[in-house]
Amino acid sequence: MRKGILFASFITFISAVAQTEATDTISTRQLDEVVVKGEKPQVKGKDGIMVVDLPGIVKDKPVTNILEALGYMPGVTNNNGMIWLTGASNVTIILNGELTNMPLQNLYQLLYNTPVDRLKNVEIMYSAPAKYHVNGAVINVVLKTPTPLDGLQGQVRAGYNQAHYGSYGGVLAATYAIKDWTFDLNYGLTRSKSWSREETWSNHLYDGKRTMIEDDMRRIGQNWNNTIFASASWKTLKLTYNGQIISDSKSWSLSSGTLGNYTNAYNMLSPVGYHNIALRYAAPFGMTVGGDYTHYSENRSQSLFKDADYLLGSENRQAIDRWHVYVDQQHQLGQWQLNYGAEYQHSKDHSSQHYAMSDNPDFDDILNEDV
């Protein structure tokens, strides 16, 4: 009877020890939370194209527009608003794989007016394919394509800059999509007034004598600047308009010194206008057909005074009309891609200059060019 009690107690002890060891095994132990973090590469290379995740790079930077964001890209410098690419003598900026054909100043103004939230990524090509119609390096700014789920999206921005004079302006950017249609609008209006001063002293040797010439130059300018970019797309058919209208543009150069007091006044007699309208269609079999029309016009006068005396003046006019059409074809041959196409451009430049109180001959010329 006593042996049976000892055996039962031993079995109970072994069972308790086994339960204690089981609670400490790996299969039953509760682990702390494990978090796996991954980072998207900022630069990826594919088929000779460097794709830069610029939105990720400038995510925590004080950037509000695309022009400012480009200065944070690897290998790109923003020198007083001018974009340069390391290793390239010159670089062309295009939008969504399309050459805009707008003046560089207009393109920079458009990038400055476009919110950085619209940016998808940026592609860098040191040797652009033929389909872009560009020789040399290219920076392709790829914007997000609005979808019907996004609805109407927009942003309004205003700014003021105080230097010698105050300048101010505002920007309206909006996108909208419905079914197969997408619409994009970007409008900027700025009022600028600038002032600068430069003093020079030069010691000239003339007729065996040293002559000190002093000059105090002040420059003043003002204008209203309107920039417009609008596009409407239906599937792969896209109509785009971009333009710039500069009004109330005046500038003065005031010089006083050893040679006397001079005033050189420039005045735009009518608004400076740049207008470009483009149509582009991409076929499903690799063909792209497009064309655009550009018109530029200006009419300005220049007057030179010494003290209150009128010395001479001139009136200048320029009107440029340009038509451009192209067709491109692309074939995918395994890992190879073949691009070829043709384009034609015709331009007409009508310029004239008429002088007042001057012996210089007037001219009125028309230049036609076909490429």
The yes-or-no verdict on residue 346 having pLDDT over 60 is yes
**326 plus 346 within the same structural domain:** yes
Q: Write down the pLDDT at residue 317.
A: 96
Which of 113, 144, 175 lies at the terminal end of a domain, its last residue?
144
pLDDT digits 0-9 by tens, 4-15: 444 444 444 444
CA dihedral 38, 40, 44, 46 (to 10 degrees): 80
* Structural domain of 349: 148-371
**318 plus 230 within the same structural domain:** yes
Largest alpha-carbon pair distance within the chain? 143
**54 plus 168 within the same structural domain:** no
Cα–chain center distance at 104: 9
Q: What is the pTM of this model?
A: 0.80
Residue 134's pLDDT band (cuts 50, 70, 90): confident
Mean pLDDT in residue range 98-102? 82
Task: Provide CB contacts within 8 A for 310, sequence distance 6+.
Answer: 303, 304, 357
Asked whether residue 273 is assigned to any structural domain, the reply reads: yes
Q: Write down the pLDDT at residue 10.
A: 47
Mean pLDDT of the chain: 87
Q: Write down the pLDDT at residue 188.
A: 93
The yes-or-no verdict on residue 17 having pLDDT over 60 is no
Strand partners, 89: none
Mean pLDDT in residue range 252-278? 94
Q: Write down the pLDDT at residue 133.
A: 85
Residue 75's pLDDT band (cuts 50, 70, 90): confident
The yes-or-no verdict on residue 265 having pLDDT over 90 is yes
Residue spans of beta strands (DSSP E) within the chain? 43-46, 49-52, 76-79, 82-85, 91-95, 119-125, 137-143, 153-162, 166-178, 181-206, 209-234, 237-257, 260-282, 287-306, 309-333, 336-356, 363-370
| Phi, psi dihedral angles at 145 (to 5 degrees) | -90, 120
**280 plus 327 within the same structural domain:** yes
Residue 206's pLDDT band (cuts 50, 70, 90): confident
Asked whether residue 135 is assigned to any structural domain, the reply reads: yes
Q: Assign 10 to helix, strand or coil.
A: helix
Q: How many domains does the chain have?
A: 2
Question: How far, CA to CA in Å, does 296 sit from each of 125, 149, 242, 317?
Answer: 30, 39, 12, 11
Q: For position 70, which CATH number holds?
A: 2.170.130.10
Q: Write down the pLDDT at residue 77.
A: 84
pLDDT greater at residue 133 or residue 271: 271
The yes-or-no verdict on residue 141 having pLDDT over 50 is yes
Q: Write down the pLDDT at residue 14.
A: 45
Q: Quick one: tokens of 323?
A: 């038509």
**152 plus 81 within the same structural domain:** no
| Phi, psi dihedral angles at 33 (to 5 degrees) | -65, 135
Q: Write down the pLDDT at residue 187.
A: 95
**262 plus 368 within the same structural domain:** yes
Mean pLDDT in residue range 211-224? 94
159 by Cβ neighbours in 10 Å (0-12 / 13-18 / 19+) ranks as: exposed
Asked whether residue 13 is assigned to any structural domain, the reply reads: no
Least confident of 67-76, 183-192, 354-363: 354-363
CA distance 326 to 335: 26
Work out the percent of the chain whose per-residue pLDDT is above 70.
89
Asked whether residue 340 is assigned to any structural domain, the reply reads: yes
**231 plus 343 within the same structural domain:** yes
**182 plus 326 within the same structural domain:** yes
Q: Write down the pLDDT at residue 193.
A: 96
The yes-or-no verdict on residue 130 having pLDDT over 50 is yes
CA–CA–CA angle 351, 353, 356 (5° rounding): 165
Which of 126, 144, 162 lies at the terminal end of a domain, its last residue?
144
CA distance 106 to 228: 9
Asked whether residue 11 is assigned to any structural domain, the reply reads: no
**252 plus 316 within the same structural domain:** yes
The yes-or-no verdict on residue 337 having pLDDT over 90 is no
CA–CA–CA angle 181, 186, 189 (5° rounding): 155
The yes-or-no verdict on residue 33 having pLDDT over 80 is no
**173 plus 131 within the same structural domain:** no
**243 plus 125 within the same structural domain:** no
Q: Write down the pLDDT at residue 26.
A: 47
Which of 116, 144, 172 lies at the terminal end of a domain, its last residue?
144
Q: Assign 126 to helix, strand or coil.
A: coil
Task: Kindly report the number of other CB atoms within 10 A of residue 59's CB atom.
Answer: 10
**287 plus 349 within the same structural domain:** yes
Q: Are 97 and 139 in contact (CB under 8 A)?
A: no
CA distance 52 to 43: 5
Q: Write down the pLDDT at residue 331.
A: 92
Question: How far, CA to CA in Å, does 249 sit from each of 222, 246, 300?
Answer: 6, 7, 9
Asked whether residue 52 is assigned to any structural domain, the reply reads: yes
Asked whether residue 22 is assigned to any structural domain, the reply reads: no
Q: Are 351 and 362 in contact (CB under 8 A)?
A: no
The yes-or-no verdict on residue 277 having pLDDT over 90 is yes
